[in-house]
Structure 1
Amino acid sequence: MPQNLIEKYNNPGPRYTSYPTVPYWDTMNFSLKSWKESIKRSFAESNDAEGISLYIHLPFCESMCTFCGCTKRITKNHDVEIPYIRSLIKELQLYCDLLGEKPILRELHLGGGTPTFFSAENLQLLMEGIFRRTIQHPEIELSFEGHPNNTTKEHLQTFANLGFKRVSYGVQDYNETVQKAIHRIQPFENVKYVTETARELGYTSISHDIIFGLPFQKTAHIQFTIEKTIELRPERIAFYSYAHVPWIKGNGQRGYKEENLPSAKEKRAQYELGKKLLLEAGYVEIGMDHFALPTDKLYKAQQKKTIHRNFMGYTSSKTQAMLGLGVSAISDSWYGFAQNVKGVEEYTHLLENNILPVFRGHILNEEDLKIRTHILNLMCQLQTSWKDDNLYFNEIPEVLIQLKELENDELVILEKDTITVTEKGRPFVRNICMAFDLRLQRNKPERQLFSMTV
């Protein structure tokens, strides 16, 4: 990749798991009442046809990984498990009461934190509570994130018995120096064991998360990590850039100095090498930062143009409504977003008082809804068209200037009312989406809100 493009486009930018992005939510005009109306509208429109998605945030970890930007609670006290599970089930019950019937559960993902911090027995109690309050879709997809160091055969067997076919493991990097810097020591043997055990128990889609741009990370480390990953041949690989935002995420990301991080040029070289190795091994690039084997549902969804992106990342199935349960979890009705409080104690207290634990959100206006569709198209299909839209981007000066610049750099093909991302432009898809982000265009941040795009 030309160095001049790296320097030109390596700017802070969103990863667009939503539009508007969280810093641009209109929280002043949001209320719990407006959120309830939004989710009820979405549920009435879409539940019978496609069901809902459910994301459950399990925030507890026994130790701090310094690369992580998620909401977590560091503790070795496992007595927190049952009370938190009761709160999660209570939250779902409040939504069922609001909606007036059991939702059809199309997709569920357990994230964290560390879901496998919880015992297999307690995770089964959680899932039984969820299933009692929902109707399982005939093609339900169930998945969870597992830590290779503490995911046991009992965990995998319990989830398999419940119908789980997908599991995602955080690998990050196999180099010991990098692992020490990010406080995540896990040998290849641990990842190999949980990957092979999952396969033996019938899991059909195993994913590994790999990060480039970590402190002390070299291109040789990426090559070694990718080669070891290919040995295990997971069906999916998330290969993404470390988001260094210590001013947002706090001291957890200050365990190393800025000069310990690879430069933008070095990061790009790491990505290009990793991508080359994955493509040579038979993986196909999916959207942004993801790769899948042609046998996997995510690849098939891309081919059918049914792939979706939300706060859970890329998904092979799409639902209009997504409920987020647990501290910091974000719900999405398509017409609005709502985020839960981030403290476990406050979360528990609100639910004990029969109050949905939402503390902020955003209700989308007509312009937001149209832009959201175009950004989603670009992130999933690398193309969008506004010929049937009354919001003509090629007539909006702040957008037109950027689109022409992207076209001049051969990152997009711009026609009258259609934009297509070129192969050269794929690494810059976040920058391309930024050109459509009118909230960002109209209100440039005074301080850095996002990680760098390259």
Structure 2
Amino acid sequence: MMRSLVDKYNVAGPRYTSYPTVPYWDVDTFSMKKWRESLVKAFEESNDEEGVSLYLHLPFCESLCTFCGCHKRITKQHSVETPYINALIKEWDLYCDVLPTKPKLKELHLGGGTPTFFSPENLNLLISSLLNRTTLAEDYEFSFEGHPNNTTKEHLQTFYDLGFRRVSYGVQDYNEIVQKAIHRIQPFENVKRVTEQARAIGYTSVSHDIIFGLPFQTEAHVKETIAKTKSLKPDRIAFYSYAHVPWIKGNGQRGFDESNLPSGTAKRQQYELGKVLLAEAGYHEIGMDHFALASDSLYQSMTNNTLHRNFMGYTASKTKVMIGLGVSSISDSWYGFAQNVKSIEEYYSLINEGIIPVVKGHILNTEDLIIRRHILNLMCQFETAWDSNGLFFEELPEVLLGLEEMEQDGLLIRTEKSLIVTGKGKPFVRNICMAFDLLLKRKQPQTRIFSMTV
């Protein structure tokens, strides 16, 4: 039965880290003036109570991993560190000058690229400079992505001394054939070393990222990777689907033939196997592709209905304002999105002119805000409702009618005022969200722009 459902519902679709999704942003009605107004509005509504989230995109890597869909710059020249750090500090200053009061920092996350490409000394300078213009929320959480091959004990200690308590390591898969195909040669011993070092220093949450659906990957490889992961017992695991989008990301994802990728059904079987193995090891499924021990804040946020999803993925708490610094970063004011330029050279030029380096964005209208709430509910809690909560919209009866077949297939349960995703339907939550995506329904893309949902 699962095979027929995979064949039926394995279509191209968004991952819904935002709504509207980036291809449907109305850039014609966007302006920096409107973006700043939306940012200030959300900040004034939420800073005192929630605080803000800050994401830093550090794009440099010494080598190219062919599974990666992120914006990056490949170089071994570490002279690039200082000018980029100076630009990030200047960009934060530009935002702080727009905000009416000092921001209260709730979340800080460093992604990439490879954040640990940067030296501990430069990272200390960067974070310390940013913190000088903030106050800290009582329950703040700082986290960073570390490459197991180049994360040092000095990196970990420096981040810890700055207030970081969570680190995420990219594992992907331990099989050497798979690693060679994705150009990510990474021995288990390196992951073991940095995991144990983080715990010894005092980190309270260590996360591992694992990918299924990679070239040459089999169920045996998934089983081996999870067995090794289980031996290290990370607090949190991101177990997510490889998104094969070479038409967007260029030649970086052409390091293997597409015939080397597992079929949609085989890919789903890899996930189902992994899910069973993780459950046996004590991990709870969180949202679409995350797992956590009961002691981890991500699991706790799911149980108390505070789980949130944004451009950083699933997070343990929600802030209305998320500001992204660095090339390609996306900021979210809840009422609007804004994305930075993707060229490092253009980024430097705008920063040096005192201009916030946004290249495009979207201001959400009333309909967008309602649909966004429904999609967030489905992605985070696997249910949504409409009644006196302001989430009814004109096209809802048509949307529910379009979900009849999914209900017949046992993927969801509809009531007069709510929709609940079943256990059988959780693997297809992206498809269910697509039924609510009015912009996608009104204008189907003429070319393939999204990864497959399975």
TM tier relative to shorter chain: over 0.9
Q: CA deviation at 1:292?
A: 0.1
Aligned residues of 1:327 and 1:341 also touching (Cα < 8 A)? yes
- Written as runs of structure 1 = structure 2, the 5 A alignment for 1:85-104 is 85-104=85-104
Aligned residues of 2:367 and 2:393 also touching (Cα < 8 A)? no
1:319-375 per-residue CA deviation (whole Å, 9 max, x = no partner) reads 000000000000000000000000111001101000000000000000000000010
The one-letter code matched in structure 1 to 2:78 is: H
- 1:84 partnered with 2:84: yes
Farther-moved stretch of structure 1 (18-27 vs 388-397): 388-397
1:180-227 per-residue CA deviation (whole Å, 9 max, x = no partner) reads 000000000000000000000000100000000000111100000001
- Written as runs of structure 1 = structure 2, the 5 A alignment for 1:306-345 is 306-345=306-345
- Written as runs of structure 1 = structure 2, the 5 A alignment for 1:299-310 is 299-310=299-310
Q: CA deviation at 1:386?
A: 1.0
The separation in 2 between residues aligned to 1:368 and 1:289, in whole angstroms, is 25
The separation in 1 between residues aligned to 2:116 and 2:125, in whole angstroms, is 14
Structure 1 395/357 Cα, relative in aligned 2: closer, same or farther at 3 Å?
Answer: closer
**What residue number does 1:414 align with?**
414
- Written as runs of structure 1 = structure 2, the 5 A alignment for 1:210-289 is 210-289=210-289
Aligned residues of 1:394 and 1:400 also touching (Cα < 8 A)? no
The separation in 1 between residues aligned to 2:214 and 2:81, in whole angstroms, is 32
The separation in 2 between residues aligned to 1:98 and 1:5, in whole angstroms, is 50
Q: CA deviation at 1:396?
A: 4.2
The separation in 1 between residues aligned to 2:444 and 2:161, in whole angstroms, is 50
- TM-score in terms of structure 1 length: 0.99
The one-letter code matched in structure 2 to 1:218 is: T
- Structure 2: tracts of 5 or more residues without a match: none
The separation in 2 between residues aligned to 1:164 and 1:215, in whole angstroms, is 34
Please state whether the residue corresponding to 1:183 is helix, strand or coil. coil
Aligned residues of 1:286 and 1:302 also touching (Cα < 8 A)? yes
The one-letter code matched in structure 1 to 2:401 is: I
Q: CA deviation at 1:401?
A: 3.1
- Structure 1: tracts of 5 or more residues without a match: none
Aligned residues of 1:240 and 1:289 also touching (Cα < 8 A)? yes
Compute the RMSD of aligned alpha carbons.
1.1
Q: CA deviation at 1:33?
A: 1.1
Please state whether the residue corresponding to 2:47 is helix, strand or coil. helix
Aligned residues of 2:385 and 2:391 also touching (Cα < 8 A)? no
1:130-153 per-residue CA deviation (whole Å, 9 max, x = no partner) reads 110111111110000000000000
The separation in 1 between residues aligned to 2:449 and 2:397, in whole angstroms, is 24
Aligned residues of 1:394 and 1:417 also touching (Cα < 8 A)? no
Structure 1 40/180 Cα, relative in aligned 2: closer, same or farther at 3 Å?
Answer: same
Aligned residues of 1:12 and 1:448 also touching (Cα < 8 A)? yes
Farther-moved stretch of structure 1 (397-406 vs 92-101): 397-406
**What residue number does 2:29 align with?**
29
- 1:115 partnered with 2:115: yes
Aligned residues of 1:393 and 1:399 also touching (Cα < 8 A)? no
The separation in 2 between residues aligned to 1:258 and 1:221, in whole angstroms, is 19
The separation in 1 between residues aligned to 2:36 and 2:216, in whole angstroms, is 47
- 1:374 partnered with 2:374: yes
- 1:450 partnered with 2:454: no
The one-letter code matched in structure 1 to 2:303 is: Q
**What residue number does 1:175 align with?**
175
The alignment-based identity, stated in percent, is: 69
- 1:160 partnered with 2:168: no
- TM-score in terms of structure 2 length: 0.99
**What residue number does 1:354 align with?**
354
Aligned residues of 1:52 and 1:105 also touching (Cα < 8 A)? yes
Q: CA deviation at 1:397?
A: 5.8
Farther-moved stretch of structure 1 (152-161 vs 388-397): 388-397
The separation in 2 between residues aligned to 1:265 and 1:393, in whole angstroms, is 36
Structure 1 348/405 Cα, relative in aligned 2: closer, same or farther at 3 Å?
Answer: same
Q: CA deviation at 1:2?
A: 2.0
The separation in 1 between residues aligned to 2:310 and 2:107, in whole angstroms, is 12
The separation in 2 between residues aligned to 1:181 and 1:44, in whole angstroms, is 49
Q: CA deviation at 1:100?
A: 3.0
